Structure 1
Amino acid sequence: MRVSYFRAAFIDLAVLFLFTFIFPAHAVLPNKTLVYCSEGIPAGFDPAQFTTSVEYTVSAFTVHNRLVEFKRGSTEIGPGLAAHWDISPDGLRYTFYLRRDVKFHTTSYFRPTREFNADDVLFTFERMRNPNHPFRKAYPAPVPYFVNLGLDKEITKIEKLDLYTVRFTLKSANAPFLTNLGLAFASILSAEYADQLLKAGKASNINWWPVGTGPFVFRSYTKETEAEDALIRFDSNSKYWRPQDVQVSSLIFKIVPDAAERVRKLRRNECQIMSYPRPADFAAIEADPKLELLSQPGLNLSYLAYNVLHPPLDNVLVRRALDMAINKKAIIKATFRGREGAAQVASAPIPPALWSHDETLKDELFDLEKAKALLAEAGYPKGFTISLWTLPVQRPYNPNPRLTAEIIQADWAKIGVRAKIVTHSWGKYIKDGHDGEHDAMLIGWTGNIDPDDWFGVTLTCDAMSGLNYSKWCYPPFDALIKGARQTNDIEKRAAFYQEAQRIFNRELPFTPILHATAYQPINKNVTGFKINPLSATVFTGVSLK
């Protein structure tokens, strides 16, 4: 079946035409500064390199755009830098017709001489796809999300048909391909800027001095001092191709790792939006007449990954024993301070809201005696010692990582397993987790509505060097995930994923712990803000009264 999006493109262009009269091409923006209190120091600004919302918020959805984009506050895909597209009847060729008159940012370190075109799309994806690409060789940064989804093998050819038309050819039909192009890693970079960096011998600057087409232009990053928070400053893009999305003149990120301090700054109006509140602060936020606590069901999962390459975690009986000895209800009650509806026990590697979730699979009950028996059967009647890594910063799916680790540590001690709690800085935690330095590791995932973004990214062999923190590679499981990608029949895809869940339930490479409600505190002077179900905070369309 041939799929075309001319109608959507026409509506999009009509809206843009109308706003041209409201916002001129070089819009005079309201003199308003929006301040966001963020929880973590970014490891860089190159979206292809990273897998977490810290970098996606500060870069992908602030500085950049993608060929297709999720509509604000939803998981629905719409036009982005591609105004419309065609998909061949066999599902192997995607032809994108690019938007014209889109300008790259002009900064103190780069002045573009041309507008966005097909060369930028080719550079963005060839750099990720081809290890021998000149820029990749000059700056051999990892591209974990792209690889985890198998796109390095799936995309066989990218062609520039003309200056504003690009065609992707795939090895096999790939049902989630279009959705995947809306994810942060697929943010379009400037080929002209990359050439400038390459000639200057400064290719790595692409990670610290970003250039995009997005609603905000990077200005500066001031590191933390004893007296001041780290600050990241952006100017609004007055030449943005979707002018209605830019409603303030500047955007500032304050890096404030302590959640209680973020709340204090929000209450003093030192920031107007903050990330990840502690449940302990919910009541105070709700009681403050100047603040509002937004919430919606989260597409997330908190889990404990077992590194199956480290004995005795290579033994499924050991993994089942450890799983059975974790009191998930106690974790939810303690970390969410008994707030009703804040979280629910997880029993599968995907949230119940996803269309292929198998409701027949039940979570193993908390049972210490049965866990002891399984350890004895596995040959460890007296237990063993392992490391238990815990997140250095709170996440929406884990508001108190240290307490979560301490509860698990105490539970495991009752079956003879001695867990040494370990933590690192955020960047080292993720890097060393990718490298498999841990035994057991608390982590989580927030994905989109397509199950492939869960199974394919966290559990396949392709993802072992990236987000598969369990280092679990099981070919029968992989075959199911690939089979699901290669059909557009929703019932067949669901059957593949449900069988994959049964394998997961039997092999248990990680323990699903909980799914959490997403909370976002804002100042009531903020207008137009929507919680992003895909975890990163998005500032398009946001203003201040």
Structure 2
Amino acid sequence: MDRDNNSSLMLPASIAIIIAVIFALFNYAPVKKAPIVNTAGSTNNTNQRLIIGRANDSVTLDPASTTEMNSFKVTVNIFETLVKYEKNEGRIIPCLAESWNSSEDGLTWVFKLREGIRFHDGTDFNASAVCFNFHRWMDKDNPYHNGKFSYWNTVFGGFPGFVDSVKALSNHSLEIKLNKPYAPFLNALAMPAFGIASPEAIKEHNEDLFKHPVGTGPFLLKSWEHNKSIILERNDKYWNGRAKVKEIEFRVIPGNKDRLEELKQGSIHIADYLSPVDIAEVKYDPNLHLYLRPSFNVGYIAMNNERFPFNKRDVRVAINHAIDKEKLVNDVFDNFAKPAATYIPPSLWGYNNNLKTYEYDPDKSRKLMQEAGFPNGFKTTLWVMDAARDYFPKPLQVAEFVKESLKQVGIYAEIKVFNWDEYLTRIRNGEHEIALIGWTGDYADPDNFLYTMFASENAKPGFAANYSLYKSKEADQLLIQARETTNMVFRRSLYRSLQEIVNYEAPSVPLVHTMPVMASRLSVRGYVPSMTGIESLENVELASE
């Protein structure tokens, strides 16, 4: 169970020292130490099961139909993409495509695919299979276009969006034509949402593919007991060499303390989404290793700009002035987060560190409320998810803090709690008034944050990732310009200008950037946390303890 909000005001000296050291390195790089392993034990035992404790179950195992991180954490081990990121560097490297080239105008891309790869069901991976997947994603009239396909809509601007055509040039050569340039194109193709599925599995299972994932990756699905456990087993015919462990289990353990306790007892090997207050306990346990994911997220308050009174800028600005982010970081995040001035992390290029942000000023907030026509305030609902996310390790305490802050300026919020699956569905439909939500980047480009959260294209009910339902022609123009130019100096300038526009309009309230805390047993070797929170685990192995 999480600590009471006020308990963080008196931090033990050990935690305070750790926090001080970490914040000295808090330019969003992970704090690591080399794991100490029991060298007497074998690290070559390939018949073991790696068990990961996490707060939430996956929503689906069809990566094309979700934007949800806990789904991707599993599917990235089942499906593979045409290209991928090199670990720790963010550089695009080959995966299912071994090479590629583009035309000078950036509109035509040709990919040479690897030969001899088979899907888990034994069918061939080839250019026709890739085309089949793209047509499923992009064509609303395709008989297998069953699902939201939210990431396609978000990244490529609708159905079909700016992808003009996808066709096989030969059995292992593929051509993709765009109808306008898109600077982060390769980055987008590396996202787990665009993992290539077996066409035969899609045909067989269609809308039930989310329960029957079939890819080319190092693992395949063995079992899924909803809200309890997902077990993957090794693909012994994997084209890039067998995985180090025989099975991976993703076990749902909702409570932070419960996950830590099971880790200490050795019933799980890795615990995700731990509370910062547990750092000292992990650090000084001789059997555990502390990991800090690189901070690549933002947690924020999404105000529904299409609902009264949040369609009034004065009300939105008043709410921005009502939140004391420094106190929030101290009271709820145990000083293990950084107040957010805007919606991209400071480590990301294009960050505007000259923004004149909204200072905590409840008097100014109350004055703005009066000017907006609410001298006596108003009532609203504040939505929150029921379990930890990397940007909100203690979401209910964040909700209580925001509720009390709003109360001080005459806004009386009733907290409503939903399970994660229902929460996503409802806020994508725009049913909320104000909601706590966040975003973890998929790749190191401001487009992934800012286009996702603020493009009008992404404010469509049912598909919304722009949870504020904010719409601005000026913002859209800058977002599109930044997508279509490859001039990095110009792109950086456009994103800095965009942040100024969004800051003035105040569609939401940026709250915090966190550095998610996790831990493992010392027997875990080869595990490297990524900034996106999503890792393929074929190179992780277990030593004997």
Give TM-score scaled by structure 2 length.
0.89
How many Å separate the matches in 2 of 1:445 and 1:500?
18
CA separation in 1, counterparts of 2:208 and 2:308?
Answer: 41
Alignment of 1:99-178 (within 5 A): 99-105=114-120, 111-112=121-122, 114-136=123-145, 140-151=146-157, 152-178=160-186
Q: 1:468 and 1:69, CA in 2 relative to 1: closer, same or farther beyond 3 A?
A: same
Cα displacement (A) at 1:29: 7.3
- Offset at residue 205 of structure 1 (A): 2.2
Match of 2:437 in 1: 443
Matched, 1:536 2:534: yes
Contact 2:218 2:538 in 1 (8 A): yes
SS in 2 for 1:153: coil
Partner residue in 2 for 1:288: 285
| Alpha-carbon distance in 1 for matches of 2:388, 2:274 | 9
2:98 maps to amino acid = A
Query: Which amino acid counterpart does residue 394 of structure 1 have in structure 2?
Result: A
| Alpha-carbon spacing, 1:223–1:470, altered in 2? closer, same or farther (3 Å) | closer
One-letter code of the match for 1:469? Answer: Y
Q: Which residue of 2 aligns with 1:352?
A: 346
Which SS does the other structure have where 1:538 is aligned?
A: coil
Question: CA-to-partner distance for each residue in 1:75-126, whole Å, 9 max, x for gaps?
Answer: 2211110001001101001111101111211xxxxx43x3211122112111
Q: Tell me the residue number matched to 1:231.
A: 229
The CA deviation at 1:349 is 1.4
Q: Which residue of 1 aligns with 2:329?
A: 332
Equivalent residue number for residue 22 of structure 1? none
Local SS of the residue matching 1:390: strand
Secondary structure of 2:111 counterpart:
strand
Q: Which runs of 5 or more residues in structure 1 are unaligned?
A: 1-27, 106-110, 225-229
Give the whole-Å Cα distance in 2 for the aligned partners of 1:296 and 1:115.
Answer: 37
- SS of alignment partner, residue 53 of structure 2: strand
Moved more, 66-75 or 182-191: 66-75
- Residue 505 of structure 1 corresponds to 503
Counterpart for residue 56 of structure 2 = 40
Q: Is the 8 A contact 1:29 1:238 kept in 2?
A: no
Separation of aligned partners in 1, 2:52 and 2:74: 10
Which position in structure 1 is the counterpart of 2:374?
380
Instruction: Check conservation: 1:434, 1:466, Cα contact below 8 A.
Output: yes
**1: CA distance, partners of 2:267 / 2:103:** 51
Q: Is the 8 A contact 1:520 1:531 kept in 2?
A: no
Contact 2:275 2:517 in 1 (8 A): no
CA distance in 2, matches of 1:73, 1:193: 33
**Distance in 2 of aligned mates of 1:282 and 1:78:** 35
* AA matched with 2:222: R
SS of 1:403's equivalent? helix
Instruction: Give the letter for the 1:83 counterpart.
Output: E
Read off the aligned partner of 1:533 and give its amino acid letter: M
Runs ≥4 in structure 1, deviation > 3 angstroms? none
* Aligned position for 1:66: 81
Partners of 1:335 and 1:215 in 2: CA distance: 39
Amino acid in structure 2 at the alignment position of 1:91: G
Partner of 2:391: 397
1-structure distance, mates of 2:267, 2:287: 13
Q: From 509, 514, 523, give the equivalent of 1:516.
A: 514
Residues 48, 245 of structure 2: 8 Å contact kept: yes
TM-score under structure 1 normalisation? Answer: 0.89
| DSSP 3-state at the match of 1:409 | helix
Correspondence for 2:264: 267
Give the AA of the match of 1:261.
D
| 2:454 matches 1:459 | yes
1:297 shift after superposition: 3.0
Pairwise CA distance, 1:459: 0.9
Is 1:185 the equivalent of 2:193? yes
2:228 is aligned with 1:220: no
* 1:371 counterpart residue number: 365
Instruction: Give distance in 2, aligned partners of 1:184 and 1:29.
Output: 29
Measure, in 2, the Cα distance between the counterparts of 1:538 and 1:519: 19
The answer to whether the Cα contact below 8 Å between 1:396 and 1:516 also exists between their aligned partners in 2 is: yes
Q: C-alpha distance in 1, partners of 2:131/2:309?
A: 45
Once the two structures are superposed, what CA deviation does each residue of 1:464-523 show, in whole Å capped at 9, x if it has no partner?
132110011111101111101111100111111111111101101111101111322111
Hey, what does 1:203 align to over in structure 2? Answer: 206
Q: Tell me if the contact between 2:328 and 2:401 (Cα under 8 Å) persists in the aligned partners.
A: yes
What is the deviation of 1:188? 0.6
Matches of 1:302 and 1:74, distance apart in 2: 24
User: Matched residues in 1 for 2:525 and 2:309: separation?
Assistant: 53
Query: What percent of counterpart residues are identical?
Result: 30
1:14 is matched with none
Distance 1:175 1:490 in 2: 10
- The aligned counterpart of 1:3 is none
In structure 1, what is the Cα distance between the partners aligned to 2:132 and 2:256? 39
Q: In the alignment, residue 253 of structure 1 is paired with which amino acid?
A: F
Question: Partners of 1:284 and 1:326 in 2: how far apart?
Answer: 31
- 2:307 and 2:161 map into 1 onto residues whose CA distance is 28
Secondary structure, counterpart of 1:135 in structure 2: coil
CA distance in 2, matches of 1:258, 1:358: 36
Instruction: Tell me which residue corresponds to 2:244.
Output: 247
Counterpart among 18, 22, 47 of residue 31 in structure 1 = 47
Pick from 88, 95, 115 the counterpart of residue 80 of structure 1.
95
* 8 Å CA contact 1:304, 1:441 repeated in 2: yes
Residue 494, structure 1, aligned to residue 492, structure 2:
yes
Q: Is the 8 A contact 2:219 2:233 kept in 1?
A: yes
Which digits, 9 at most, give the CA deviation of each residue in 1:157-211, with x for residues without a partner? 111101111111101111011100001111111112223x1xxxx4222110110
Say whether the 8 Å CA contact 2:276–2:517 is kept in structure 1.
no
Cα offsets for 1:194-245 (capped at 9, x unmatched): 23x1xxxx42221101101111111111246xxxxx221111111112216x
How far residue 362 of structure 1 moved from its aligned partner, in angstroms, is 3.0
CA RMSD, Structure 1 to Structure 2 (Å): 1.4
C-alpha contact (below 8 Å) 2:386/2:418 kept by paired residues = yes
- Residues 398-421 of structure 1: per-residue CA shift (max 9 Å, x gap): 111111111111111111100111
Q: Is the 8 A contact 2:447 2:483 kept in 1?
A: yes
Partner of 2:7: none
Q: Is contact 1:150-1:462 (8 Å) kept? A: no
Residue in 2 that maps onto 1:323:
320
* Separation in structure 2 between the aligned mates of residue 324 and residue 75 of structure 1, nearest angstrom: 36
User: For structure 2, which runs of at least 5 residues remain unmatched after alignment?
Assistant: 1-43
Residue 149 of structure 1 contacts residue 462 of structure 1 at CA under 8 Å; is this kept in 2? no
For residue 404 of structure 1, give the secondary structure of its aligned residue in structure 2. Answer: helix
Give, in angstroms, the shift of residue 383 of structure 1: 0.7
Task: Tell me the equivalent position of 2:481.
Answer: 483
User: Deviation of residue 296 (structure 1)?
Assistant: 4.1
Kept after mapping to 2: 8 A contact 1:37/1:273: yes
Number of residue equivalences = 494
Tell me whether 351-360 or 279-288 shows the greater mean CA deviation. Answer: 279-288
The amino acid that maps onto 1:437 is: E
